[in-house]
């Protein structure tokens, strides 16, 4: 069974009649630190479990993102192709314009 912060809070230690033993103040201080850390860890666990429980919903979003990224890549490829075609057309236009200018200059 996992240790809970409440288990630590409820824990009682047997007293000692001998001189040897632990300082109650030190033990209590340490137990307080343990309780704080256990509560923090339990909160983290609860948060992670909630995220896992929501993950089927998130998988739809992940799929949409993947599809959108694929579409974006297709658009980028089409754009690159169009830019290349425009550059070729511009080069052809420049060539024809130069030819027309040359013919006009001769005539």
Are residues 31 and 8 in contact, defined by beta-carbon separation less than 8 angstroms? yes
pLDDT 10s digits, 78-94: 988 988 999 899 988 88
pLDDT 10s digits, 19-56: 667 777 888 888 888 888 888 888 999 998 888 777 66
- What is the total count of domains within the chain? 1
Give the length of the chain: 107
Q: Which domain holds residue 76?
A: 5-106
Rounded Cα–Cα distance for residues 34 and 46 (Å): 18
pTM for the model stands at 0.42
């Amino acid at each position: 069974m996992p240790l809970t912060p409440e288990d630590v809070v409820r824990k009682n230690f047997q007293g000692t009649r001998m001189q040897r033993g632990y300082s109650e103040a030190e033990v209590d201080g340490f137990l307080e630190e343990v309780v704080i850390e256990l509560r923090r860890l339990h909160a983290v666990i609860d948060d992670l479990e909630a995220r896992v429980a929501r993950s089927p919903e998130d998988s739809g979003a992940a799929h949409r993102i993947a599809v959108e990224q694929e579409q974006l890549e297709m658009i980028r490829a089409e754009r690159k192709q169009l830019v290349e075609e425009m550059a070729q057309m511009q080069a052809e236009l420049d060539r024809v314009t130069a030819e027309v200018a040359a013919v006009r200059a001769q005539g």
